[in-house]
Amino acid sequence: MTPRMDNPSLVVPGALQPLLDLTEVIGKVGVPQTTLDLIRLRVSQINGRGYTFPDDPDQAAKTDPRLRRVADWRTESCFDEAERHALEMAEAVTLMTDPQDMASDEVWEKSAQYYTDEQLGALVMHIGLVNLWNRVNVATRQEDAAWR
């Protein structure tokens, strides 16, 4: 599919850097990068935003093999409890089936067992930011992104 336009984060003057700055801030509060990556991919899957993974064996070896299993995180044994609860939160916030209670108290409390308030705040902001990127990219029909 042909993109409708260049990526809006590059078209709108000054838009890209604040988004990159927010990403950097989120990455500094102690949530493992692997967890943030799992969330990024799962939210993107839900939103129809595609990623391609490296075919080169050397590059593929550097990619977390669990990424290919993230859609099945509920049944795959390779995810720890903290990751599972972060993924559950990501799905709840992304799907917004009930905007009045999109992240139920139960979902929140499960995540709060593993993450501090600062980390929970970063998780919610990360989920929101990934949703923003996804919606911008899907709406403008951007090509699938290479996973990095």
User: For 101, how many CA atoms within 13 A lie in the half-sphere containing its CB?
Assistant: 4
**CA distances, 138 to each of 40, 129, 141 (Å):** 15, 14, 5
pLDDT confidence of residue 4: 97
Q: pLDDT of 43-97, one tens digit each?
A: 999 999 999 988 888 877 888 989 999 999 999 999 999 999 999 999 999 998 7
21: CB partners within 8 A, 6+ apart: none
pTM: 0.92
Residue 116 has pLDDT above 90, yes or no: yes
d(C-alpha 135, C-alpha 48), whole Å: 9
**Residues 54 and 64: beta-carbon distance below 8 Å:** no
- Residue 2's pLDDT is 93
